[in-house]
Chain A
Amino acid sequence: MSKYMFLFRGGEPGVDPMTDPAGFGTYMMSWKTWMENLAKSGKYLGGDPLEATGRTVTGKAMKVTDGPFVESKEIVGGYVIVEAASIEDAVKLSEGCPIYTHDGVVEIRPVQHVDF
């Protein structure tokens, strides 16, 4: 078993939690359904959604800027870490993720084993 990180990019919910809380609730429930199944299989290790903006800190001088400023479909909107037997298995685990029906992308990256 190895760890894999799912990075979610794009995939706007299309509903505003402020103006349509019920619609947003339905959207979040679809995430729950997917993750609940993951959790039941024992392969879900954790994860969180991320705000669209924060701070970017660069260089020795630790230059702080607002950001990241990239196109919204490029922004990492959240992550999930799973346990899977192989990358193919990890891809299969992402099935049912609501982001696919919201025009978003899941980037699946194996956690690197660092030996030295």
Chain B
Amino acid sequence: MVGALTRLFGSHHLELAEDVVQETLLKAMRDWPYHGVPENPAAWLHRVAKNLAIDQMRRRSRGVELLKENAALLRSEWTLSSTVTEAFAGPVIADDALRMLFACCHPTIPAEQQVALALRSVCCFSVPEIARAFVTNEENINKRMYRAREAFRAIGKVELPTERELPVRLKPVLATIYLLFNEGYNSTAHNDHIREDLVEEALRLCDMLNRNARTEQPVTHALMALMLFHAARSEARVDANGAIVLLQDQDRSLWDRRLIALAEQQLHQSAVGAELTTYHVEAAIASVHAQAPTFAATDWARIVGYYDRLLALAPTAIVRMNRAIAVGRSQGAAAGLHALDLVEGVEKVHLYHAARGDLLRELGRDEEARTAYGNALKLVRSPVERELLERKRSGLEG
């Protein structure tokens, strides 16, 4: 609904739109307990929001700047009601959420603010909820929102990008969705439903892109596949104490086969066109893991191949490190260690030292392995991983 109203009033009236929706929800909370939930709650909400929006326009439309193409229609009683009514017409609403998503991820809005803005305006999270989602305080989020809104106002018209603009405009949208997903998925703050909500919202937004003929692209399916592969493992990657369980130690019977099947389907749909993105390759890697019965029986040669492609697209230290680990699995410890020693900029990553320890141990270089595990132990945070590393280190003594 915020999307419908913002399209109508213009992006500089985001707060006006949010106020209308907020007031609508408040009215629902006041009315429904007394009169019961209406037969068609969505229609009820739309009708109330529509009337509130009309009231707002009656009171304020002369004093405020409106979008050129709507101003005259919103300022005249001939057309005010029908213009607002039309903005709330059923099938348009889903598109409005998409338009809003693209506006929130406009290149003029800084990346870290895009996510907060999208959560507020597209996913209807409250400020306290967003603060909890980002493990920060409300004041911080309010500051971030304030700056984001300033930038949002300057956009003007809230519209889906044209076919020509789409490739450029889609990138920050996908980045935001993936950030949202990772924020929920990679959190160590467990047992917090907000975290699950973030994962769900990320999947929902990506699904929305896939359901719209204009925005549906191979890359949107690739991101969906990647997120679904990860989501399929969520049961297995946290233990009873809420600590992260590494891929190699996960109980694969806990993986959600239904989600994996959906992910494979999405990956299949992503495999058209000429563009290969990091989402494609990362999803392909996740797919190889999903198909492997055990960690040891994984097709490591294929994974190394995918990492080579990933390196060509995103030459980061973490990708190099993961590639070296995969090399260690597929071509033996010596080759793995050689590759790993060539990686720079991962000295602060405990997995780097842990992987070196594993490879050195395999090569019988126990003394060096002990040192590597020691370095890893200085950096590790999860108690379960710490215990595992300590066990490995003490297994080397004597």
Contacts and interface: CB of A to CB of B under 8 A. Distances in A.
B117 to A, nearest CB: 30
A52 interface: no
A32 B72 contact: no
A80 interface: yes
A40 B69 CA distance: 6
Interface residues on A, range: 10 to 19
Contact of B79 (A25, A32, A40): A32
Query: Interface on chain B toward A: helix, strand, loop, or mixed SS?
Result: helix
A44 B78 CA distance: 12
Interface of B: 69, 72-73, 75-79, 81-83, 85-86
Contacts of B77: 48-49
A71 to B, nearest CB: 23
A36 interface: yes
Contacts of A28: 78, 81-82
Contacts of B75: 46
B77 to A, nearest CB: 4
A47 to B, nearest CB: 5
A100 interface: no
A35 B78 contact: yes
Contacts of A25: 82, 85
Contacts of A78: 78
A35 B78 CA distance: 8
Interface in A44-64: 44-49
A45 B82 contact: no
A48 B78 contact: yes
A39 interface: yes
Contacts of B79: 31-32, 35-36
